[in-house]
Amino acid sequence: MLNISKSVLNRKVDLSGFKAVQRVSGRKHYKHFNRFLIVFAVILLIILFLPWTQNVRGIGFLTTLTPDQRPQTVQSQIPGRIEKWYVREGDFVEKGDTILHISEIKNEYFDPNLLERTDQQIKAKEMSVTSYQEKVRALETQIGALTKERSLKLEQARNKLLQANLKVESDSIDFEAAKTNIMIAQRQFDRTTQLESEGLKAVTDVEEKKLKLQETQAKLISQENKLLASKNEVLNAEVEIIRVQAEYADKIAKARSDKFTAQSSQFDSEAQVTKLENEFSNYSIRNDLYYIRAPRSGFINRAIQGGIGETFKEGDRLVGIMPANYDRAVETFVEPIDLPLMHIGEKVRIEFDGWPAIIFSGWPNVSYGTYGGKVVAVETFISDNGKYRILLAPDPEDHPWPEDLRVGSGAKTIALLEDVPIWFELWRQLNGFPPNYYQPEDSKMASAEKK
């Protein structure tokens, strides 16, 4: 209470008999308390200068190091209907083991003898190809025979032409001789006529010479006719050569046309054979797809499509499988502001869900129950949750991770950064500043070497 009054209470009343006054009036405990405060202040001051490891916290889960080791679903490449299951959830399957059997739901594949009928079509088309090949060979033989026959016919026609030319030449010589004979006969007739007029020759001589002249003229006309006939034979021989060439050219062209038609049909049949073989292969592969097999060794997690008789589309998930052998990793997420502080090979401490741990984030050496990891991949694009994905692998220099961990279990991560005094970390936290930006020692050495 305030001492406003001039009357002093403790001088008029004895307060020493009260226990509360006895406890408050004692001065001895002040000395011990002051010593405690001084020692606490000194310890606190010393603690403020102790080193503190800056860190980046993240929350993630256990995954696998490579994508092909992660849990996956088995899909069907074709639509179908579930007929029989060969496994149960939790079963272990080897690669290639049959998981379930499906049946066809498309009407174009309902025929149970589809493969056999397609094979019969292939054989029939192959026989058709063989027939066309034989026809092509026969036409090639026919073309060869026609070509040889044309050569012989042309040779025969040329011989006839040569004979006709020789006959023309012979007839022309005979015609010239006839013209010479008629000139001689004309001179003899003229001379005999003149001698007869002079009385030196008889009339009978003139008549003989006249008769001979007429015979010579008749021979000249006959020889001229022969010459013209021989020239006609030459023309006929030339026409015959042209006719033979045209005739056999038409026959050979027709044979070649038939050959090309047969070859076209042969190629068309070969194309149909190839198409049928392709369909046969597709049908064979499709029949093999009726049995859904395990793509790798692992455990059957969950049957997504259950029951018998359920239908599904191609690409629908049927069953989930977890690989038996995998390399463990942790997938964690950090804030965008902390991403520049994450580097490949960075040391990280990990706390797994279900495993007791005592964590001092700034003093990793005194933490208990955490496991070592290192950064192996840093995502360069932000995830759907607004953070960046970091992939962590076990640290080979640290003790191994627990064997009983399962993919998908939760994990908390602490990425270790630079060491700073505790007072600096408190000042940074109070001001909301990010951890100190730094480069790993390897990056610094590499930069120095480049310079």
Residue 396, token pair as written in the block: 């080979």
Report percent pLDDT > 70 for the chain. Answer: 86
Q: What is the pTM of this model?
A: 0.59
pLDDT band at 340 (very low <50, low <70, confident <90, very high): confident
Record: fold of 114-288: Helix Hairpins (1.10.287)
Question: How far apart (Å, rounded) are the C-alpha atoms in residues 208 and 196?
Answer: 12
Question: How far apart (Å, rounded) are the C-alpha atoms in residues 93 and 227?
Answer: 107
From the number of C-beta atoms within 10 Å of its C-beta (0-12, 13-18, 19+), residue 182 rates as buried
What residue spans of 82-113 are helical by DSSP H?
none
From the number of C-beta atoms within 10 Å of its C-beta (0-12, 13-18, 19+), residue 212 rates as middle
Residue 416: which region, alpha, beta or left (left: phi > 0; alpha: psi -120 to 50)? beta
Residue 368 has what DSSP assignment?
A: B
Low-confidence winner among 206-210, 254-258, 271-275 (lowest mean pLDDT): 206-210
Chain centre to alpha carbon of residue 59: 39
Locate the DSSP E strands across 26-165. 51-64, 72-75, 80-85, 92-93, 98-103
Record: fold of 72-104+290-323: OB fold (Dihydrolipoamide Acetyltransferase, E2P) (2.40.50)
CATH assignment, 52-69+326-445: 2.40.30.170
Chain centre to alpha carbon of residue 264: 32
Q: Give 205-224 pLDDT, tens digit per residue.
A: 777 777 887 888 888 788 88
Residue 426, token pair as written in the block: 């408190």
Question: How far apart (Å, rounded) are the C-alpha atoms in residues 302 and 294?
Answer: 13
Lay out the sheet containing 291-293: strands in order across: 291-293, 98-103, 80-85, 311-312
Question: How far apart (Å, rounded) are the C-alpha atoms in residues 292 and 298?
Answer: 15
Query: For the chain, what are the domain ranges?
Result: 52-69+326-445, 72-104+290-323, 114-288
Q: Give 126-161 pLDDT, tens digit per residue.
A: 999 999 999 999 999 999 999 999 889 889 888 888
